[in-house]
Structure 1
């Protein structure tokens, strides 16, 4: 199989798996005061330092979580819960991951926050003019959240410009897709908080962190033993922390060379697909994009049949649409970008990673014309 769904999950790096497995054989709760517990705490804090150094942060700013979803929820809900206003304002971009959008929507539905969704341009980048207007429209928000790069289209968001516009208002960014592929320096970014996860860059599923400045007021989303600055209770996962730290360090060290390699493969895939099949459109063509993501819409086709056809041809990819209870829905990201529903239901995302080769791109280009033709024929017959 040609696996081209690395933006969903990429394989664990062998050296990370080895460190993870080694730590799983050790005992000790890092909150215990005995010798074994203290040794576990030492290994955990060394991992925290390793992770912080790779991300341009201070160790005290790293709050370990179970992944990007928990980190996003802690940032969004935690900032709102900690705000002195009974209904603070909350600004989120229209193309955020569901972990941000649904958390914000949940707060808004319960009257816990006044949520404003910031629009994006036709290329999928945050509309900075609209963001400026929203920031000036009332009391300063408790938080603004805009992802570093979109997980579906690969479009890089103007985070630095947003931080400058926001001034003293704290800005959170979901950097899950960005860390392995773009220069990410938390201290230099001016962000108040940033979410990362392990399984997008060679670490295990279930590992992640919220990097948050100490001055950012956060309230816990769940309660317990008061670990992680009192905002993220639960027995600390030493094995996960060590695996995450190594995965991030290795991804950051390889980033420049690997991103150049993947961008070349991506560009070849896009150019070949556009030349071979009429009616394909590259999403976000006018905006900066992640080097490993190629997002295309296919006029006259639907994502389900495209994915099935590619899978039968030995190519694993993903769609730009979501299926719920067997009913295909238009991609909310493409809808926010102004795409008509039929086109928003026709997207393909090819996302490349460390194991991707020229042969994988060849497999896509060989299979795509026939797969698209069959999908269009089936769509027209409905």
Structure 2
């Protein structure tokens, strides 16, 4: 840590900070005197309305000085740097010095009151010093222990809060990375599809370009929230499927069944479903003497979404789907673990002729969003 700059504002902050602690010191000493005297009224009279007030001030000032010296000097200089022996020696010395500085308060109290030590404390001056030391030392040890406990607890809570914030930021950063890791991959495939159609059928290319424009608008402007309407995600999927169907050969069968009643109030993280559909189109078989097919089925039962995406494959394409295409599947599964932990089920099966993804998810409705997020939809 750099050396602090003791400007006027710093002095003001420190002064205000210590003033803020005065009630604590008064309360602590009052409780200590109440325990020692066994009567809270007598303790209050002794502290504020008697010759013992001076003694009380000595306790307050020097114990507070010892505590702050320990917290703001000894701990940063020795304890936090692992110099335990030097810290313990310095701490013991600080406690003993604070105790010794408190003792003159007893004698000053008697002097101001115009009484002898025997009259005020019941013993002569020589004998009293041992009694005073035996009283001041445990009190100083207790307040040092209490202050360190409070400080350590406060630091632990602050560390926990910082750790939680860091974890939250880490998760949000990872989620954003995973989401945008997908986008360039999809854009690349879509552009290739349009390029293919330009040479094959210009009219189809024009239609696909319009679809692609809608898809791009969705990616750039409509899916920046953590949760979006399910209806928007479905519309995005339909545009993507239509775009892919335009560039497929005639021997490709694409069957889509979407049961989506009243989806406007349900929310889903963007691009969760997209990976399964894109993976099917990317790795569907290219047989010339056998059927090529993609089946997409979506069902919604209240807030339970079930999606099944399957496609035909060639016997030698299994490893390609699971490894190269599996990059997208691993991506979406990681996002699901981060966003929907314990709320989804994902099953992937494959054989020599087909590849199937079964996905179930418990969706969130707008009513279940926190108030701040609900306002964002207005």
TM-score over 0.5 (shorter chain): no
The structure with the largest alpha-carbon Rg is 2
TM-score bucket (shorter structure): under 0.3
With structure 2 as the length reference, what TM-score do the two structures score? Answer: 0.23
Structure with the largest fraction of helix: 2
